[in-house]
Amino acid sequence: MLDIGCGEGEMAAWLSERGFRVLGFDWSHAAVERARKRFGELPGKPRFERLDATCLPARAEKFDILIDRGCLHGIPRTYGKAYVRSIASWAKPSAPFWLFFHTQSRQGHPTAADTSAGPREEALKYLEAILPAHFDIQQVTDGWIEDIPILVILAVARSC
Ligand SMILES: C[S@@+](CC[C@H](N)C(=O)[O-])C[C@H]1O[C@@H](n2cnc3c(N)ncnc32)[C@H](O)[C@@H]1O
């Protein structure tokens, strides 16, 4: 399982405890160091790497499940297509991709212009414009992370 923009690794660790083999990555050195320190590299524990989701290197290992909780919405929209192409290159055919995408900032205002978050309809339009190049959208649900409204998207990787 691939945890995209894993931050300090809480979700990767949670999934790992439930039997998933998880690679979490983040572009923040500090977050990856902290994740490694907290959750280690012992057998059965998640692995953590420092990588940029918009330009992942070629890799033989492919993943059965992809998850992004809170990463894509923070990436400027000009990098949206690169992100989708990049993460799809690490997915096995038909791998489900779970995306948790903020539609507003914590303060309840549309977030700054240099992130992808925005009002629900506009955010959904953006995701529907970038995902289908490599994923089929199966389900769109509304939800919350704490007090932040989100879109929960289930998409499935196409065979490349
Ligand atoms: C809101 S945090 C969410 C962290 C974690 N997924 C969670 O749910 O607790 C977003 C994370 O995405 C990371 N991030 C932002 N842009 C990224 C990129 N291009 N590649 C990898 N990670 C990125 C940030 O460094 C940050 O740790």
- Minimum CA distance residue for ligand 1 atom 26: 7
Distance 98 CA to ligand 1 centre (A): 15
Give me the CATH topology for the region 2-157: Rossmann fold (3.40.50)
Residue 23 neighbours by CB under 8 Å, 6+ apart: 1, 2, 3, 12, 46, 47, 48, 49, 61, 63
C-beta of 52 in contact with ligand 1 (< 6 A): yes
Q: Is the sign of the CA dihedral 34, 37, 40, 41 positive or negative? A: positive
Domain boundaries, the chain: 2-157
Determine the residue type at 28. S
25-68: pLDDT as tens digits: 999 999 999 999 999 876 789 999 999 999 999 999 999 999 99
Distance 74 CA to ligand 1 centre (A): 8
- Minimum CA distance residue for ligand 1 atom 23: 5
137-153: pLDDT as tens digits: 999 999 998 888 899 99
81-92: pLDDT as tens digits: 999 999 999 999
